Amino acid sequence: MKAKLPTIISVGRTKFGEHYEVEPEKLIEEAGLAALDSARIERRGLDACYFSDYFLPITNKIGLEEGFLSELLELNIPMEITRSFSSALSNACNAILAGTYDIVLVGGMEKMTDRWDKIRDDLMLLEDPWSYYAGCTPEANHELMFRAYIKEHGISGQQLDVLNTALAQFSVKSHSNAMKNKYAQFRKEILIDAVIKARIKAKRPLGLFDFAPISDGASALILTNLEIAPSYTDKPIYILGHSMATDYITFPSRSDLTSFVATQLAMKSALKKANIQLDDISILEIYDQSTMMGLVSLEDLGFCERGKAWMDMYGSYQKDEKGYELKERRIFVNVNGGLKADGNPLGATGGAEIFEIFQQLRLEAGERQIKADEELRFGCVHELEGFGTKAYVYILGGK
């Protein structure tokens, strides 16, 4: 079975942002060709394709996406569509492990800015129908979690000021990291004061700079197995463990409103499959759809104690340009800028996270390359569907 270990041999992506005049096929073509060219594989060498998107039938009036992509690639091989990139990759990994396919293209794309006014309703239904019918916006549950968190952990007075500052610092650090990412949607630094002023202007606990943007873009990778990978690259990256878990779609119905149990379960399973310890992981890509979601994800993944991530984030801000001091360990988090600054084209977002870890583990991240005290051996990728309704975790490693 070890010979069938899912192995990434190349990656590709586009710049994230507003691509109003670019057709979705051009975006996925750019990302897919970058991955194929890097691995020196022609389209006819593919055994299957797994793609992801949430809203292309709505935003671009595309019907059966598999037929659309078959026409684009001029191939008749098996193709499947899922929502998130992590879901597409999970299916591809299972096919590789089963020996069904040897070389698979995994891709994701989205054109969300084309009809942003239309899909805001769809985003809310995707996250929580109960909240939608109660008149909430896509940002509402993040703020409900914030309020539940401070109540659960008894945060008030000066501590609350520190928590609010820590969340702002998280946003500021994301933008700072994105400055060296040529693909990022926002390559612009922001100040803590700007984050806080945006909250005051909105009269809400979370403001404009606490949330990831709406984005267009595409990402892709080529997946094969441990046995075949050396034929295409001398620096393969292995998917040592991957897992997914689910939770209730209705956020207020969950027993705990201060964490995502799906993330906790997926992380525990992925670590067990990878046969490594949490302390072995040095670099992390978390799904920070908001600063609050980023904070909670650090706790759910086990890198911070429950109710204390904000303390670690606050204490680390001045000490380390890219990393965080978490449980007395240096962890590098969202060095590409995360969803907050790199961008969040839903169907392609997870692919951008994989792209970053892949490049970092291969020491090919250019200006963004982490210069750690010890060799980077293992990285973790975390993606959510909905508001913590589904969680995916991937543990990646090199030689």
Give me the domains of the chain, ranges plus CATH numbers.
2-116+215-231 (3.40.47.10)
CA–chain centroid gap for 262, Å, is: 15
pLDDT (tens digit per residue) in 180-206: 999 999 999 999 999 999 999 999 999
Of 122-136, 206-220, 372-386, give the lowest mean pLDDT range.
122-136
pLDDT value of position 328? 72
| Contacts (Cβ under 8 Å, ≥6 apart) of 159 | none
Specify whether the CB–CB gap between 91 and 82 falls below 8 A.
yes
pLDDT value of position 379? 96
Note the helical H segments in the chain. Answer: 24-39, 56-59, 65-73, 85-98, 116-127, 129-133, 140-152, 157-178, 192-202, 261-274, 291-300, 309-316, 338-342, 346-361
Q: Buried b vs exposed e over 239-257: b needs ≥16 C-beta within 10 Å? A: bbbbbbbebebebeebeeb
- Considering only CA atoms, which of 164, 170, 174, 166 is closest in space to residue 204? 164
First vs last C-alpha separation in the chain = 18
Q: Buried b vs exposed e over 194-228: b needs ≥16 C-beta within 10 Å? A: bbbebbeeeebbbbbbbbbbbbbbbbbbbbbbbeb
- For residue 374, pLDDT beyond 70: no
pLDDT (tens digit per residue) in 315-371: 887 656 567 877 778 899 999 999 999 999 999 999 999 999 999 999 999 989 988
Token pair, residue 317, equals: 């801000």
Name the percent of the chain lying above pLDDT 90: 77
pLDDT (tens digit per residue) in 248-286: 998 888 999 999 999 999 999 999 999 999 999 999 999
Q: Which residue has the tokens 């689910």?
A: 246
pLDDT value of position 22? 93
Which amino acid is located at 26 in the chain?
K
The three-state secondary structure class of 155 is: coil
- Considering only CA atoms, which of 168, 166, 398, 391 is closest in space to residue 282? 398
d(CA 94, CA 98): 6
pLDDT value of position 133? 81
pLDDT value of position 322? 64
pLDDT value of position 116? 77
CA dihedral angle for residue 25, residue 27, residue 29, residue 33, rounded to 10 degrees: -170
What's the whole-number average pLDDT of the chain?
A: 92
pLDDT value of position 60? 82
> In 215-328, at which residue ranges do the beta strands (DSSP E only) sit?
216-225, 237-246, 281-285, 323-326
Q: Buried b vs exposed e over 291-301: b needs ≥16 C-beta within 10 Å? A: bbbbbbbbbbb
pLDDT value of position 145? 96
Strands 237-246 and 323-326: unpaired
pLDDT (tens digit per residue) in 141-151: 999 999 999 99
pLDDT value of position 373? 61
The residue-averaged pLDDT of 360-385 equals 89
d(CA 321, CA 158): 25
The residue-averaged pLDDT of 18-29 equals 92
pLDDT value of position 1? 54
pLDDT value of position 128? 79
Distances (CA, A) of 27 to 12, 67, 187, 194: 11, 17, 20, 33
The three-state secondary structure class of 32 is: helix
